[in-house]
Structure 1
Amino acid sequence: MNFGRFAARFALVGSLCLATIVPAQAKFWQCVPFAREVSGVDIHGNALTWWNKAKGLYQRGDAPEVGAVMSFAPVGKMKLGHVAVVSEIVSNREVRLTHANWSVRGKIEYNVRAVDVSPDNDWSEVKVWYGPIDALGSTTYPVNGFIYPDAGPDSQQVADGTNYADKPVLDNGLDREHAMAFHD
């Protein structure tokens, strides 16, 4: 593992630990500043602009990597797109994402399932875990690809022994069954 990749992963873990120390009521998170803070990808502007702004600054691709930013294209109610950080690679068709402002407005979700449902197995379309139904949502979201915070992917970490029944933790101070939320 090169130093840049190690530093990016260390920053991801450190940011996640810091986010758990701060009281949930202390900050209303949007996806963009959260993804920028956790990944180290220094892009500003709405999520819908990240894919194009990354060109020439960061490597981009269609393979997930821990620490990479998944760039969602705008669709339906999600007019400004969305960005999320890959926190784990489960298989060639499933990753875990850590992101903000998805199931619970302004809150952080850790290690939620995202499944590649694209017909060509290229991560161009995904379904993402949605808190209010405690399952993968029914909406299919278009994905531009992945923005790599350093030199790009050279390996994929596949998790073994993962308990897929584990539910993601919501950083909202409420238990999952009583979290009242909506998705933008």
Structure 2
Amino acid sequence: MRLGIIFASACAIVALSAPARSAALLDYVGQCVPFARAASGIQIFGDAWTWWDKADGHYQRGETPRAGAVIVFARTARLPLGHVAVISRVVDARVVMVTHANWSRQNGERGHAEQDVTLTDVSPDNDWSTVKVWYRDMEGLGSTAYPTYGFIYGKALAHGASARPARELTSSDPDYVGALIDAYR
């Protein structure tokens, strides 16, 4: 009986710490990793910057953004654990929208989910190895350029099941014009 109570308590803690794949996905407040896992369906665990290596041999990886893919930010002084975000829309060759958590402050706190946020490729070789991200506090692209490893796609290799992105990944009416204005002003 005691073991059953401990197991039930552990399951409740896990359930509360990970976002549900439901309409409440965008109500999530917490770290980017559990959010990206729920939003993309890609089942990788660990700090965000470790996702790139952990995907090797399990999921396809590449340098081209696709809706539902996870972009993996490298670890830096500003991002000691890295960051992961899910591509919600491809706008043009150098501009995408992402849905992610724990980036901008909302109501004075970090951790909130944001949908269809502008992310632009600022790499010199147009390979998405360096990006800038829309930041709510500035109401535009942040001034910092972040290094990335690339994109992890939901297509599993070998015998794994392919990931299914959450239906709340993108809105029904994303602001493409606003994303382009943010990226090119």
Q: Which runs of 5+ in 1 are unaligned?
A: 1-13, 153-160, 167-184
Please name the residue that 1:93 is paired with. 94
Please name the residue that 2:147 is paired with. 142
Please name the residue that 2:82 is paired with. 81
Please name the residue that 2:34 is paired with. 33
Q: Does 1:119 align with 2:124?
A: yes
CA contact (8 A) 1:126 1:140 kept: yes
Structure 2 CA distance for aligned equivalents of residues 99 and 151 of structure 1 = 22
- CA displacement 1:57-96 (0-9 Å, x = unmatched): 0000000000000000011220110000000000000000
Q: Which has the higher helix share?
A: 2
Please name the residue that 1:49 is paired with. 50
User: C-alpha root-mean-square deviation of aligned residues, in Å?
Assistant: 2.0
Structure 1 CA distance for aligned equivalents of residues 138 and 80 of structure 2 = 22
Figure out how many residues of one structure are paired with residues of the other and give that number.
140
The TM-score normalised by the length of structure 1 is 0.71
Structure 2 CA distance for aligned equivalents of residues 15 and 128 of structure 1 = 24
Structure 2 CA distance for aligned equivalents of residues 162 and 132 of structure 1 = 18
Q: Any idea what SS the aligned residue of 2:23 has?
A: helix
Radius of gyration: which is bigger? 2
CA contact (8 A) 2:25 2:39 kept: no
Aligned residue identity for 1:43: I
CA contact (8 A) 1:16 1:38 kept: no
- Give aligned-pair identity as a percent: 52
Structure 1 CA distance for aligned equivalents of residues 76 and 97 of structure 2 = 21
Aligned residue identity for 2:124: P
Q: Does 1:17 align with 2:23?
A: yes
CA contact (8 A) 2:91 2:176 kept: no
